[in-house]
Amino acid sequence: MLTLLKPRVKKLDQLVEELRPFLVVDPEIDLAAAAKHVTPQMRPVLATLADDLSWTSPFDAVTIEQVLRSTAERAGVKAAALIHATRVAVTGRAVSAGLFDVLALLGRDRVVHRIRRMADYT
């Protein structure tokens, strides 16, 4: 985690914020980020992504990226839109370290849980 976060952190309080998604069960959701990136049209795509990731193996950054891009293509949405929505779902924020590395570090169970939670978020 520290290797991933080191380039993003200049002060100790920034490290705490960057580590937060790794240390909590359900991160607090930035409502502005959710409103912007998790649109009603994106929610079913997130649900499909959660299903696709639930069986993905190996659960590493390269494979996760392939699955996400494939899910976006099948759903007819831009990969960037799904990446942003996934980042908000998993970290609670619009900005984070490299998403695919973050997902791999968090692990399948937490990632799938958080994406499903956001897909059902109202």
CATH number at residue 67: 1.10.10.350
The per-residue pLDDT for 16 is 61
Range of the domain at 101: 2-119
Average pLDDT, the chain: 87
Torsion of the alpha carbons at 89, 81, 108 and 96, rounded to the nearest 10: -60
Structure-block tokens of residue 108:
């399948």
Residue type at 42?
M
Regions of the chain with pLDDT less than 50:
none
Closest CA to 30 of 83, 78, 72, 87: 87
Residue 98 is predicted with a pLDDT of 82
pLDDT in tens, 59-89: 999 999 999 999 999 999 999 999 999 999 9
Cβ neighbours of residue 116 closer than 8 Å, sequence gap 6 or more: 46, 47, 50
The tally of domains found in the chain comes to 1
